[in-house]
């Protein structure tokens, strides 16, 4: 059972914060686009803006369903095949292309300029086979 999720993105000094915010929000289902965390961080190279949203059980399930609906079949196949490698404990991690998200499309990426997504599955006791099976069921 999905127990939580997080979506986050960084806006670097060279990027337009409004465009990064739009890309970030496009990863979320319309019903979850309100109330997210935005923080300005001053780093070595200047100001960075961080966008993030932490989701509890029911909202995390909505996010997972939305991502499964919006991701292209080829990306879902890749994600489904790599679930075991992308797991850290009970949490699945993957990156979505920030540029595609700005255009209203979702696509996996391995690049560093990405929107980060994590989805946590709770099993007691922890059972990796059940976790992988549930995630494959979502992204099949």
- The contacts of residue 107 (CB under 8 Å, 6+ apart) are 71, 72, 75, 96, 97, 100
CA–CA gap between residue 126 and residue 20 (Å, rounded): 36
Residue 48: its pLDDT value, please?
87
Residue 45: its pLDDT value, please?
75
Cβ pair 23, 102 in contact under 8 A: yes
- The contacts of residue 95 (CB under 8 Å, 6+ apart) are 108, 109, 110, 111, 114, 115, 116, 117
> Rounded to two decimals, what is the model's pTM?
0.93
**pLDDT of the chain along its 140 residues, tens only?**
999 999 999 998 889 999 999 999 999 999 999 889 999 988 777 788 899 999 999 999 999 999 999 999 999 999 999 999 999 999 999 999 999 999 999 999 999 889 999 999 998 888 889 999 999 999 98
Residue 8: its pLDDT value, please?
97
Domain ranges of the chain: 2-139
Residue 101: its pLDDT value, please?
97
Residue 13: its pLDDT value, please?
85
Residue 132: its pLDDT value, please?
92
Residue 84: its pLDDT value, please?
92
Which CATH number is 2-139 given? 3.30.1440.10
What number of other Cβ atoms are within 10 A of residue 41's Cβ? 10
């Amino acid at each position: 059972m999905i127990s939580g999720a997080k979506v986050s993105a960084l806006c670097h000094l060279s990027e337009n914060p409004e465009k990064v915010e739009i890309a970030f929000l496009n990863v979320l289902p319309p019903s979850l686009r309100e109330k997210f965390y935005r923080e300005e961080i001053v780093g070595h190279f200047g100001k960075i803006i961080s966008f993030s949203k932490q989701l509890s059980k029911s909202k995390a399930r909505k996010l997972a369903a939305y991502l499964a609906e919006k991701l292209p079949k080829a990306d879902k196949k890749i994600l489904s095949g790599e679930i075991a490698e992308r797991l850290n404990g009970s949490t699945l991690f993957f990156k979505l292309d920030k540029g595609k998200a700005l255009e209203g499309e979702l696509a996996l990426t391995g690049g560093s300029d990405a929107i980060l997504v994590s989805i946590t599955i709770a099993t007691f006791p922890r059972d990796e086979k059940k976790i992988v099976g549930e995630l494959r069921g979502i992204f099949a």
